[in-house]
Structure 1
Amino acid sequence: MTDIEQEFFKEFETKLWKAADKLRSNMDVANYKHVVLGLIFLKYVSDAFEERQNELVELFKKDDDENIYYLPREDYSSTEEYQHAIAEELEIRDYYAEKNVFWVPKTARWDILKEKSVLSLNTVIWQNEQGKDVKLKSVSWLIDNALDEIEKANPKLKGILNRIGQYQLDSEKLIGLINNFSNTRFHHPEFNDKKLNLKSKDILGHVYEYFLGQFALAEGKQGGQYYTPKSIVTLIVEMLEPYKGRVYDPAMGSGGFFVSSDKFIENHANVKHYNASEQKKQISVYGQESNPTTWKLAAMNMAIRGIDFNFGKKNADSFLDDQHPDLRADFVMANPPFNMKEWWHEKLADDPRWKYGTPPKNNANFAWMQHMLHHLAPTGSMALLLANGSMSSNTNNEGKIRKTLVENDIVECMVALPGQLFTNTQIPACICFLTKDKAAKDDKRNRHGEILFIDARNLGFMKDRVLRDFKDEDIQRIADTFHTWQHNWSEDKNEPGFCFSANHATIEKHNFVLTPGRYVGAEAEVDDGIPFDAKMASLTSKLKTQFEESDKLEEQIRKNLAGLGYDI
C-alpha cells in the first residue's frame, strides 16, 4: 500500500468513526455496532452497484468489435429511446453477477434511502409488486426493508444481515448517520486531488476491519470475543502461509483469520509469480461460532469481500454441536477464549477428539487444541493462541497431554508474545504451532524430534497507553525465523534471548514445559571491544568507589540521627 493510500484510509476511517461515535449517545456499543455496520454495508453495496453501473454505461457506448456490451446509438430512433434502452439494460442482474457485485433492488439503493428517510411518517414512498401504496413507518423500518430486499435478491446473504429495528434508535439519529455516511463514497476515491487506484471492496474491507477494532476497544472484555488484533492474525497467517486448501477456524469471531488469508494471497501474488484471483479459488473457508450476532458479523465480513465460506447451518458450540464433523483441513487457525471454564458436558467424556488425553473439565485450553487437531489433515498445519499457563501447568492432566503431544512429535513451534496485545485480557499469551507431518518435502527439511522456541516478549511498541502492537518488521522477523528453521537450520542460527531449536531430550529435561523462555536463554551481550580483564578491573574499581561513598553516607546519617537524640 502506498503512503498516500495509507493517509487516505486513516482520514477516511477516522471521519466515519467520529460521525458514528458522536451519534451513539447512550446506546450500548454491543448493539450500536450492528446499526453502524449495517448502514456501512448498505452504503457499500449501493456504491459498488453504482460503480458497476457506471462501467456498464461506458461499455454500452463503446464502439468496439470485441465489446459484447455495445448498444449502437443508430438502432434507436431518438436520444430518449436510447437512454431508456440503457436504463433497462442496467437492470439486468447477470451484468452484476458476472463481476460478483451484489444486486441492489431499487428500494434498497442508498439514494432512495437518503431521499425517503427525511419524509414524514405515513408518506407514500413507493408501490409494491402488487401495486399497493407503501407508507413510511419509521427510518429503522426503511433500513430494515432495504436489508430484506438485498437478502431476497442475493441468496449468499440470506440470514446474515442484522436488522436494526430491534435496537429502537430514534429516527433523527439514523438520519444523522445516513447523512454523514452519504458524504463518503466507496468508489472513485480521491485524496489531495489525486485519484486512487482502490476498489469499493478494498475501501470497505479497511473500514469494516477498523470499525471492528474500534468497537472491540469500546466494548472492552466483551469485544475480544469477536476480534483478534490484526497484527497477531497477520503473524499467524504469515507463518502458516495458507496458499491453497481448506482453512478452518472453530472459534472464528468476526472471521479475521479468513480475511488475512485472503490478503496474504494478494500480497504474495507478485513474489510467488501467480495469479491472485486464480489462487483464491483454491482456498475453501470453514468456520464455526457460537454467538449468533458474531456469526452474522463473520458472514457479512466474508460477503463484503467476496470470499466463499461455509460457516455451518447455524451458530453452534464447537464441542457439542460440531458443524463440520467430517472436515479435515489443511490449515487450522484460532483464537479461542482463554481458560474457558464452563464448557464441559458429560457426553464429551469418551469423545474421540481426546486422542492425546482427556482435557480438564474446568479449562478448555487443551480441548480446543485437540478439537483442532481432530480436524487437521494428515499433512496439515495449525496455530492457536493459548494462555501461557497451558505451557507449564501440570495440574488436571495438562502436563500429561503436553508430554504426549511432544512424544508424538506434534508440536512444531512455540512463540511467546508480549503483554498488552489484547483489548480484552492482560493474561500472558503464546502461539502454539502444531503439525502432523514434519517429514522432508516441498523443500522443507526433516524436523522430526525438534521444536523451535521463539521469545517475542521484547518485540513490538506501545501504540497508546494501554495497548501494544507489532511492527511489520517484528512480524517479518518472527516469520522468517520460523521459515528458516523449517527449510535450512543449523546451531549457529540459535539466537540467545530470541530463538532456540530444542530436541525432545532437552525438552524432557525441562519436564515437557513448552515456555520459550526456558530454552532461548538470556540475550547475548553486545561486544564493545574491551578485553574482559580490563572491563573487570574497571567494574571492580567503580564498585569499590561506590562502597566507600555508601560508608560515608551511612556515617553522615548516623550523625544526623544522633543529633536528634536517636542512636542506631
Structure 2
Amino acid sequence: MGRPRGSKNKMTKATNTQEIGFEEKIWQAADRMRGHIDPSEYKNVVLGLIFLKYISDRFEQKHAELVAEGEGFEEDRDEYEAEGIFWVPRDARWEAVASAAHTPEVGKVIDNAMRQIEAENDSLKGILPKNFARQELDKRMLGDVVDLFTNVKMTSEGNTQDVLGRTYEYCLAKFAEQEGKNAGEFYTPTCIVRTLVEIIQPYHGRVYDPCCGSGGMFVQSAQFVEHHSGSIRDISVFGQESNPTTWKMAKMNLAIRGIEADLGPHNADTFFEDLHQDKRFDFVLANPPFNDSDWGGERLRDDPRWDYGVPPVGNANFAWMQHMIHHLNDHGRMGMVLANGSLSSQQSGEGDIRANIVKDDIVEGIVALPDKLFYSTGIPVCLWIIDKGKKARSEESGKVLFVDARELGTMVTRKLRELKDGDISKIAGAFDDFRKGALEPEKGFCAVATLGEIERQDYILTPGRYVGIADEEDDDEPFDEKMKRLTGELSKCFEESDRLQEEIKKNLEAIGYGF
C-alpha cells in the first residue's frame, strides 16, 4: 500500500494547470521503456529516477540560496544537513544526468550518481536502485524519461516536491494495477488509507505501521495533519516491512515527502524480529496480509503478545491484530484492514479471541467496505477500529459502532471501485458523531450496539446484523394499483414462458427427441 510525506509548499493554480497530466506523461514514457522487463523490476527504475530528481532539486534550491547569500557556504554540507536536505556530490546532481541523457552512457551516469549519494548519506546506504546500465534497459527511452524530468516546471518557490511526490504516488498506483494480485505487498489503495486516517485522526503523537509496504499510511497521516492546519513535525513515524525491495521503496517514498521515519535498520519479519519491541504508540494503522497461513505461528505459541488468546497456526489475522494492540499505549487508537472472515470466524479459537477483545471494551467500531477496492483482490474487506481509551469515555463505554458501507463507492473501471470524498466523509462522520454521543442511527448504514447485544450475537461483528436493512423509498403508487400492475406483468411473463416452452418442445421433436 505507499504513503507520501507532506510539504507545506503549495503550487499556484497556474502551476497546477501547467503540470496537469505530468504523472501520466511519466507513466507512458516509463511504460514504453519497460520493453521486456517485468513491472516488479522496472518500477524501481521509474521510482528511483523520481527520487534522484527530487533530492537533486532540493539540494540545488538550497545551493542557489547559499550562493545568493555570498558567504561561501554553498559547499558546506552542514548547511544542508541542518535542514534535512541530502548532500548531493557534484557528479551526482541532475545537471550531470541531464547532460548524458542522449548518450549510450546515461545508465552508467545514473548508477554512479546513486552510488555517490549513498556513499555521502548514511540513511540512504543500500536503498537506491543501481540497475540503470543493464543491457535490456532501452537507453533511448531512458533518455526520453530523463528529459521529461529535466523539463518539470518549477513551482513559484522553485521546488518540484509537490509534482514529484504526486508522480511517485501515481506511478505506485499504476504499478499496483499492472501487478494485480502481487500489488498488495506494497500498495494499499489511497481511498482506503484515507478512510482509516480520517477515522483515526492522527493529529499528533507516534504513528506505527508494522507492515508498512511502500509507506502509504504515513503519507496520508502527514497530509491529514497538514490539512487540519498542523505540522508533520507533530507526528513521529515508525514502521517495519519484511520485503527488502518494498522496504527500500518506503524509505524513498517517505524521503520524497519530507517525512522522517524510523523503519528500522533493515527489512525484517515483524513476528520474529520486532524492530520496535519496547515501543508503544498513540496510533497504529495497517493493512496486513489477509488470511496468511504461512506466518510461522507454530514457533510462537508462547509469545507474550497474545493477550487475548493464541492465534491459529493457519491464519495470521488475529496475530496481526494482537501484535498491534500490544503496541498501543494506554490511550492509543488503531485502525486496520482485515478480511471479512475476521468478523465471524469460529475456527481454531478465533471466535474466542474475538470475544475476548470485545469483552475488554476496546473495539470502537467496525466498518464493512464494498468489494472491488483492491487491485490485488475483488473480495470485500472490513476495518477494525480499536481504542484503548474508549472505556473511560461515557459516550462510548460498553458500546460499539457498526457501519455498513457496502453500498458506497463508485466503479472507476470495470474491475475497480473507489470511495469518493463524500463516501469517506460519511463514514468518518459517523465516528465523529459516535464520539460526541450524537449519532443518529441510519437503517442499513450505521447503528450502535451494546456489549450485551453483541454477546447475544455470539460476538459476531458483521455490521449487517446490527444496522438492519434500509427502508425502501415509497414511490407513492397506491397499493391496489401497484398489485394490479405487478400481477399483470407477471401474467405476461408466464405467457412468454409457456410460448418458449412449446417452441423448445417443437425443436426437440424435429430432431427426434420429443417428449
TM-score (norm 2): 0.90
Which of 317, 321, 339 aligns to 2:269? It is 317
Q: Quick one: distance in 2 between partners of 1:382 and 1:327?
A: 15
State the Cα deviation string for residues 520-551 of structure 1 (Å, max 9, x = none).
111122245x4xxx732222222443455456
Secondary structure in 2 matching 1:300: helix
- 2:292 corresponds to 1:337: no
User: Closer, same or farther in 2 for the Cα pair 1:19/1:565, shift >3 Å?
Assistant: closer
User: Closer, same or farther in 2 for the Cα pair 1:43/1:538, shift >3 Å?
Assistant: same
- 2:108 corresponds to 1:152: no
Secondary structure in 2 matching 1:426: coil
- 2:37 corresponds to 1:27: yes
Which of 100, 108, 127 aligns to 1:141? It is 108
Residue matched to 1:63: none
User: Closer, same or farther in 2 for the Cα pair 1:110/1:453, shift >3 Å?
Assistant: same
Q: Quick one: distance in 2 between partners of 1:209 and 1:325?
A: 30
Give percent identity, aligned residues only: 45
- 2:77 corresponds to 1:93: yes
Q: Quick one: distance in 2 between partners of 1:448 and 1:551?
A: 56
Residue matched to 2:5: none
The one-letter code sitting in structure 2 at the alignment partner of 1:413 is: G
Instruction: Give unpaired runs (5+ residues) of structure 1.
Output: 61-68, 72-85, 121-137, 190-195, 270-275
Retained in 1: the 8 A contact 2:106–2:143?
Answer: no
Q: Which has the higher contact order (CA 8 A, sep 6+)?
A: 2
Offset of residue 219 of structure 1: 1.3
State the Cα deviation string for residues 343-386 of structure 1 (Å, max 9, x = none).
12433011111111111111111110011011111110101100
Q: Quick one: distance in 2 between partners of 1:412 and 1:329?
A: 17
Secondary structure in 1 matching 2:473: coil
The one-letter code sitting in structure 2 at the alignment partner of 1:164 is: N
Q: Quick one: distance in 1 between partners of 2:491 and 2:185?
A: 58
Residue matched to 1:124: none
Q: What is the aligned-residue RMSD (CA, Å)? A: 2.6
Secondary structure in 2 matching 1:281: helix
User: Closer, same or farther in 2 for the Cα pair 1:287/1:536, shift >3 Å?
Assistant: same
Secondary structure in 1 matching 2:348: coil
Offset of residue 283 of structure 1: 1.2
Secondary structure in 2 matching 1:221: helix
- After TM superposition, the structure 1 = structure 2 runs for residues 112-127 of structure 1, keeping only pairs within 5 Å, are 112-116=96-100, 118=102
- 2:212 corresponds to 1:252: yes
Residue matched to 1:216: 176
- 2:196 corresponds to 1:236: yes
Q: Quick one: distance in 1 between partners of 2:118 and 2:178?
A: 29
User: Closer, same or farther in 2 for the Cα pair 1:387/1:9, shift >3 Å?
Assistant: farther
User: Closer, same or farther in 2 for the Cα pair 1:139/1:505, shift >3 Å?
Assistant: same
The one-letter code sitting in structure 2 at the alignment partner of 1:149 is: Q
- After TM superposition, the structure 1 = structure 2 runs for residues 141-540 of structure 1, keeping only pairs within 5 Å, are 141-164=108-131, 168-170=135-137, 172-173=139-140, 175-185=142-152, 188-189=154-155, 199-269=159-229, 276-277=230-231, 280-440=232-392, 445-490=394-439, 493-528=440-475, 530=476, 535-540=478-483
Retained in 1: the 8 A contact 2:293–2:316?
Answer: yes
The one-letter code sitting in structure 2 at the alignment partner of 1:368 is: W
Which of 107, 110, 115 aligns to 2:94? It is 110
The one-letter code sitting in structure 1 at the alignment partner of 2:413 is: D
User: Closer, same or farther in 2 for the Cα pair 1:554/1:387, shift >3 Å?
Assistant: closer
The one-letter code sitting in structure 2 at the alignment partner of 1:539 is: K
State the Cα deviation string for residues 483-528 of structure 1 (Å, max 9, x = none).
11111235xx100111111111221222111111111111122245
Offset of residue 554 of structure 1: 6.5
Secondary structure in 2 matching 1:161: coil
User: Closer, same or farther in 2 for the Cα pair 1:345/1:90, shift >3 Å?
Assistant: same
Q: Quick one: distance in 2 between partners of 1:559 and 1:169?
A: 65
Offset of residue 100 of structure 1: 2.9
Offset of residue 197 of structure 1: 6.9
Q: Quick one: distance in 2 between partners of 1:326 and 1:319?
A: 14
- After TM superposition, the structure 1 = structure 2 runs for residues 26-65 of structure 1, keeping only pairs within 5 Å, are 26-57=36-67, 60=68
Q: Quick one: distance in 1 between partners of 2:447 and 2:423?
A: 17
TM-score (norm 1): 0.82
Offset of residue 3 of structure 1: 6.9
